[in-house]
Amino acid sequence: MDIGQVGVWTRTDGLEIGEAARFAQRVEELGYGALWIPDAFGRDPFAHAAWLFAHTTRLVVATGVVNIHLREPLATACAQRALHDQSGGRFLLGLGVSHQTAMEGLLDKPYPKPLPSMRAYLEAMDAAMWWGPELSGEPPIVLAALGPRMLKFAAERTRGAHPFFAPPENTARSRRIMGEGAWLCPEQKLLWVTDPARARERARKSMAGPLTMPNYRGNLMRCGFEESELDDGGNDRVVDAVVAWGDLDALELRVREHLEAGATHVCIQPLDADDPSRPSLELLEALAPRLCGGG
């Protein structure tokens, strides 16, 4: 599987289903290697991936990420293998352990220890029965990983890691922990707005949820931020670290900082300046010639 150096991470739930297919086609035309879709209170990622595969020919579709506590491993394994088969090997399964606040607060479920849960889940997926055709190649998996133990496990047990909501400093630290060879696919929010006040106001809207979650807060503190900087929407230093904003030169520079820090593939999240429910296709089109030779 070739996912290239740059892909797109976005929620397509705000797009009408036909528009979502056309968006994926345009991402493919522009030369981005993968389209990453989440698993959170919207379209089912497996069903949606099948739809996107039916309307593209080369694009990898990746989940960023499927919550292991919402699906039995047998069901996930069969869905992964079916999508691998249907797409000709274009499906990348991203798995994650979610967050304690989400599991306990929103779903009223206990939150088990992350690493043992992920280890047991992968073992159960490996042992899952499959009555479909013999597969060509091994369907790849990456793990949502921020802490050192999960990063090391991701490098040893799967194709690699997909860190979310973290600056290039985290990419460098993750690469040191994981060593060479494993995929490292960080997400990076981009906002094509040059006015500092307007950019930071919009950026904070995209940060409101993650800044309440201990996993992300703890990871930002690993990157050198004080806990007090993360409160009340995050101070300007935190905002500027998590959301790259400015002109195209500034946005391209942030992506390249991740690559120079050791990223295999950067998942850019193109924030629309005005509508949080939609990705900015205009930004993707403007950046494509700089990042992947598309246009």
Distance from C-alpha of 52 to C-alpha of 83, rounded to nearest angstrom:
11
Instruction: For 198-254, give the secondary structure using H, E and C.
Output: HHHHHHHHHHCCHHHCHHHHHHHHHCCCCHHHHCCCCCHHHHHHHEEECCHHHHHHH
Task: Give 6 or 98, the one with higher predicted confidence.
Answer: 6
pLDDT score of 28? 98
pLDDT score of 18? 98
Q: Which residue has the tokens 């201990």?
A: 214
User: Is the dihedral angle over the CA atoms 107, 111, 114, 120 positive or is it negative?
Assistant: negative
Which letter, b or e, does each residue of 71-91 get, where b requires 16 or more Cβ atoms within 10 Å of its Cβ? Answer: bebeebbbbbbbbbbebebbb
Q: Is 292 exposed, middle or buried (0-12, 13-18, 19+ CB in 10 A)?
A: middle
Q: What one-character DSSP code corresponds to residue 70?
A: G
Q: Closest Cα partner for 291 from 248, 233, 262?
A: 248
pLDDT score of 32? 98
pLDDT score of 294? 55
Q: Closest Cα partner for 11 from 1, 25, 23?
A: 23
pLDDT score of 131? 96
Instruction: Give the H/E segment covering residue 266.
Output: strand 266-271
User: Is the dihedral angle over the CA atoms 143, 147, 149, 151 positive or is it negative?
Assistant: positive
Domains along the chain with CATH numbers = 6-198+244-291 (3.20.20.30)
Mean pLDDT of the chain: 96
- Collapsing DSSP to helix, strand or coil, 128 comes out as coil
Distance from C-alpha of 203 to C-alpha of 205, rounded to nearest angstrom:
5
64, 9 Cβ separation under 8 angstroms: yes
Percent of the chain residues past pLDDT 70, beyond the cut? 99
Question: How sure is the predictor about 199, in pLDDT bands with cuts at 50, 70 and 90?
Answer: very high
pLDDT at 222 over 60: yes
pLDDT, tens digit, for every residue of 144-194? 999 999 999 999 999 999 999 999 999 999 999 999 999 999 999 999 999
pTM, 2 dp = 0.96
- Structure tokens, 50: 């099948």
pLDDT, tens digit, for every residue of 62-121? 999 999 999 999 999 999 999 999 999 999 999 999 888 878 877 788 889 999 999 999
20, 51 Cβ separation under 8 angstroms: yes
